[in-house]
Amino acid sequence: MTTPSTFIHLTCAESRKLSGRALLWAEAGIFALLVGGLHLALIATLAAPQQQGLPPEALAALKASLRWPQGFLGGLAFAGGNGLGGLLAVVLAAALGGQEYTWRTVHLWLSRGVGRTAYLLSKATVLSVALLLLALTAFLAGAAATGAYTLHTSGSLPWHALPWGKAAVGVLAATLSLAPYAALTLLIAILTRSTLAAVGLGVGYNLLVENMAAKVLMLVFPHAGRIPRYLPAMLGQSLLQSAAPGSEVSVGVSGASGSIALLSPTTAALLLAAYTLAALAPTWWAFRHQDISA
């Protein structure tokens, strides 16, 4: 059963399975609360009297970065793979892949002639849509918080000046930056058949390998300092900063780049897609050849 219509039916079924899960909506809700909440916390901090000691230009620049139109894209800073978005993507991909084994539902589909390729492809398609939803959530939460601040300080919203095109590209860029993490986690979930192992290893890669190991490498071998910029975290940052320039300003979570020169957005996008495919290819191979105990 690998015809296009089967794939469409499977994808519809997969999306119904995912949309019926509390996990997806809980992740989106938590993400929205955190992004919106952090923006509001920063706005509140800037409004505090002790901040008035800052140079007036710096204070004005910071406030402008939290107001529309500049702050419109601020939420995307969180959606990147090396931020909170990456961790949420790992949990989602682990649940989507691993729990089918735990619940023995993978048997339910495969034993009725569903092709393994079509099954996996439908899962990857629905996971991509879920990542898009996470990126969109971060963007909307940030836009809502900065919009509220703009309305409070200016009395009106500059709808005509909003960079809608950049917002769309930024959401897509954020989605692409999440994809390698989700693909790697799906691979681990298929190989280990465990949600817990997939979450543990996925988060471990995100936090330890990408963040700590790369920094240690740079400290020990200064000439190897270029390596981190080719890792998904930095690639995501390269892409986001070019696609949605406002996204790196607002809450200051983009400091990880330090002095590393970022790659061009095209190169970053291609490498992110390559990382995603590099994780999906062995996932497909392993799943096609996997023995699934009856």
Partner 1 sequence: MGKPVLRLRHLSKHFKGVRAVENLTLEVYAGECFGFLGPNGAGKTTTIGMILGLLRPTSGHVEVFGRPVTPTHTASLQEVGALVGTPGFYPYLSGRVNLRLLASLYPSVNEARVEAMLARVGLEAAAHRKVKTYSTGMKQRLGLAAALLHRPRLLVLDEPTSGLDPVGMAEMRQLLRDLTQDGVTVFLSSHLLHEVEQVCDRVAVLHRGQLLAHGTVVDLLRGHQDLEAFFMEAVTPTP
Q: Which residues bind partner 1 (CB under 8 A)?
A: 1, 6, 9-10, 12-13, 16-17, 20-22, 103-108, 110-116, 288-294
Considering beta carbons, is residue 128 or 290 the nearer one to partner 1?
Answer: 290
Considering beta carbons, is residue 226 or 288 the nearer one to partner 1?
Answer: 288
CA distances to 53, 177, 252, 273 from 267, in Å: 42, 13, 24, 10
Residue 84 backbone phi and psi in degrees, to 5: -60, -35
Output the smallest distance, CB 286 to partner 1, in A: 12
Question: Can the peptide bond before residue 69 be classed as cis, meaning omega within 30 degrees of 0?
Answer: yes
Output the smallest distance, CB 209 to partner 1, in A: 31
Considering beta carbons, is residue 53 or 113 the nearer one to partner 1?
Answer: 113
Considering beta carbons, is residue 191 or 260 the nearer one to partner 1?
Answer: 191
Dihedral, CA of residue 17, residue 183, residue 142 and residue 247, to nearest 10? -160
Output the smallest distance, CB 208 to partner 1, in A: 32
Closest of 32, 33, 46, 76 to residue 152, by C-alpha? 46
Q: Is 254 helix (H, G, I), strand (E, B) or coil?
A: coil
Output the smallest distance, CB 8 to partner 1, in A: 10
Output the smallest distance, CB 292 to partner 1, in A: 4
Find out whether 286 and 191 touch, Cβ atoms under 8 Å. Answer: yes
In angstroms, rounded to a whole number, what is the distance separating the alpha carbons of residues 238 and 176? 12
Output the smallest distance, CB 294 to partner 1, in A: 3
In angstroms, rounded to a whole number, what is the distance separating the alpha carbons of residues 142 and 40? 9
Amino acid at 241: Q
Residue 231 backbone phi and psi in degrees, to 5: -85, 155
Closest of 112, 158, 133 to residue 13, by C-alpha? 112
Considering beta carbons, is residue 84 or 96 the nearer one to partner 1?
Answer: 96
Output the smallest distance, CB 188 to partner 1, in A: 20
CA distances to 97, 110, 205 from 293, in Å: 16, 12, 29
Residue 189: both structure tokens together: 């979930």
Distance of CA 18 to the CA centre of its chain: 17
Considering beta carbons, is residue 16 or 226 the nearer one to partner 1?
Answer: 16
Considering beta carbons, is residue 52 or 105 the nearer one to partner 1?
Answer: 105
Output the smallest distance, CB 2 to partner 1, in A: 8
Other CB atoms within a 10 A radius of the CB of residue 113 amount to: 9
**What size, in residues, is the chain?**
294
Considering beta carbons, is residue 18 or 43 the nearer one to partner 1?
Answer: 18
